[in-house]
């Protein structure tokens, strides 16, 4: 099953207008599928400022409404896990 490869802070802060990366340092064999959820909604590829990377979620030009609860859901054939983050915009 997937595992977390390093400890991460569950509270992340971002400055308005900057770029932030929410880390999701998970690994597994086979490599797990990563799904990001914001406030209960799946992060959609159509969200232009959001980019799902291999081990993080990058948000460009952070806006106030980007603040909220993010979940990194990770799944492979042997199990799944979730990392929760609170993003605070200042």
Q: Find out whether 39 and 68 touch, Cβ atoms under 8 Å.
A: yes
- List, for residues 14-37, the tens digit of each pLDDT value: 999 999 999 999 999 999 999 999
Nearest partner of 63 among 20, 1, 16, judged by Cα: 16
pTM for the predicted model, two decimal places = 0.93
> What are the residues whose beta carbons fall under 8 Å from the beta carbon of 4, sequence distance 6 or more?
25, 26, 81, 83
Taking the C-alpha atoms of residue 17 and residue 8, their distance in angstroms, rounded to an integer, is 23
Rounded Cα gap, residues 18 and 12, in angstroms? 13
Q: How confident is the model at residue 8 (pLDDT cuts 50, 70, 90)?
A: very high
């Amino acid at each position: 099953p997937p595992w977390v490869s390093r400890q991460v802070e569950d509270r992340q802060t971002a400055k308005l207008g900057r770029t932030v990366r929410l880390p999701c340092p998970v690994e597994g064999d086979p490599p797990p599928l990563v799904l990001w959820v914001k406030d209960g909604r799946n992060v959609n590829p159509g969200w232009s400022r959001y980019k799902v990377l291999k081990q993080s979620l990058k948000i460009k030009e952070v806006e106030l409404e980007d603040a909220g609860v993010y979940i990194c859901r990770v799944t492979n054939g042997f199990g799944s896990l979730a990392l929760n983050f609170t993003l605070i915009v200042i």
